[in-house]
Structure formats: structure tokens, C-alpha cells
Chain A
Amino acid sequence: MTPRRPYYLNLREIRLPLGGWVSILHRASGAAMALAAPLFLYAWMCSLESAEGFGAVASFFSGGLGWLIGLGFLWALLHHFFAGLRHLGFDLGWGEEKERARFTALLSLVTALGLTGLMTLGSLL
């Protein structure tokens, strides 16, 4: 008989360590960008095709829903980037100790959020 392991997925009760959140967000941001890849290819094509296309893409991302999408994409890219660097560190055997892993989890989370905030502020000024 296989041992009965705890199986507990109540999302309002579950308590993940910080590394768990960074990991889930790494997967979620990756999945979102993977699904959106053809759409960004389309935007890239339009932006290079003509001056009007460039203007249309620029104005789409400068206000309303497009601005929100751009913001979400920026965060997804940055979070995936920094959480990914953390994983490359693990692959090299760096940062696997509990304290250091917890610190780099916090660092990647905060750096991605902070840079997203700074760049958003920069685009508003």
C-alpha cells in the first residue's frame, strides 16, 4: 500500500513558502508569454511595416487596456527573467541553502516588481 501523503489544495488556507510563490509566478508568467507570443510577433510586424503601423502599436500600448497589457507583459518578462536567473544559479549549485534560497526568492520578486514600477513611472513622466 502506498503511504498516504497530505493532499491539501484549499487555496484560501494553503501557505506556500516564498520560493513556492516565485515558482508558481515563474510558471504563470511563462505560460502567459508563451500563449501571447504570436500576438507580440504581430505587433512587432506592424511596428516595422510602416510609420502608421508603428504609431498604431505605440498608441495601443500608451493608454487604456493596451497600457495594462504592456504593464502585465513587462512584469511577466522581468519576473520570468529574474526567477530564471535564480534557477540557473541552482543549476550551478549556487544558492541552494535555505536562507540564501529564501533571500534570492524575495530578491527576484521585489526586483521584478520594483523595476516594473520604476519603468512605469518613467513612462508616465
Chain B
Amino acid sequence: MRRVGGAHRGLDMWLMQRASALYMALFLVVFAGLLLAAGGLDYQSWRGLFRPLAMKVASLLFAAALLAHAWIGLREIFIDYLRVMAIRLPLLFLFGVLYLGCLVWAADILWSVP
């Protein structure tokens, strides 16, 4: 039976977890390549990495994928260990708000690099 905060929305969550994982894996491989190509990083080259618009967009999508992935992962753990809805739901709310805040924060960080 489906119920609020329960474990029966699994397929959507399962797919989202895979989609975000795939994007992050591709991004990380490209990012690691960029870091290796840059050699030793100093402040200027580190900032330069996030200067192109394409990199800002790709990084923001990475942050969105990561935060969604983290929230779904925490939800899995909460479903296993927090059996009391009065504890599970407020924690899911708390992390939802925290991570949405982090996403806006990440956008601000990226777009303050000129």
C-alpha cells in the first residue's frame, strides 16, 4: 500500500538515482581530465576553470544531480532505520530544505566567478 513517507515510490526514485549517478560519473571523468590537463592548480587557473558559461551550467547540473542523489540516498537509509514517521518525515523535510538551499548557494558561487 502507498502511504506518505513510505517505501512505495521506489521506481521513480530508483530511476532518478541512476540518472543522477550517470551524469555525475560522466562529469567527474571530464573534470578529472581537466584537472590533470591543468597540472598544478593555482588560484587563477582554478577560477579560470569555472569561467566559461558551459562549465557553470555543467557544474550547476552536477550540484543538482548530487543533491538529489544525496537526498534519495538518505531517504533509503531513513526508511531502513527510522521507523517512526514523526521522526522520518521532519528529517526528510529538513534535508530537502537544506539541499535546495545548497543548490541556490552553488548557483551563487558559480555566477560570482567573473
Which residues of chain A are near B67, meaning CB under 8 Å? 37
In the complex with contacts A37-B67, A37-B99, A84-B21, A31-B106 CB distance below 8 A:
no
Answer whether residue B5 sits at the interface, using C-beta atoms and an 8 A cutoff.
no
Cβ–Cβ contact B43 & A33, under 8 A: no
Which residues of chain A are near B38, meaning CB under 8 Å? none
Cβ–Cβ contact B43 & A51, under 8 A: yes
Which residues of chain A are near B99, meaning CB under 8 Å? 37
Report the minimum CB–CB distance from B65 to chain A (whole Å): 12
Q: At the interface, is chain A mostly helix, strand, loop or mixed?
A: helix
Which residues of chain A are near B106, meaning CB under 8 Å? 41
Which residues of chain B are near A9, meaning CB under 8 Å? none
* Of B50, B70, B98, B102, the contact of A48 (CB 8 Å cutoff): B50
When each residue 25-41 of chain B gets 1 if its CB lies under 8 Å from chain A and 0 otherwise, what string results? 10010000000000000
Cβ–Cβ contact A33 & B70, under 8 A: yes
Can you show 26 pairs from A to B with CB atoms below 8 A apart? A27-B73, A31-B73, A31-B74, A34-B70, A34-B71, A34-B73, A34-B74, A37-B67, A38-B102, A41-B102, A41-B105, A41-B109, A45-B105, A45-B109, A47-B46, A48-B46, A48-B47, A48-B50, A48-B112, A48-B113, A49-B112, A54-B43, A54-B46, A84-B21, A85-B25, A88-B18
B: residues with CB less than 8 A from A are: 18, 21-22, 25, 28, 42-43, 46-47, 50, 66-67, 70-71, 73-74, 77, 98-99, 102, 105-106, 109, 112-113
What 5 new A-B contacts, CB under 8 Å, besides A48-B109, A85-B25? A27-B73, A41-B102, A54-B42, A54-B46, A88-B22
A: residues with CB less than 8 A from B are: 27, 30-31, 33-34, 37-38, 41, 44-45, 47-51, 54-55, 81, 84-85, 88, 91
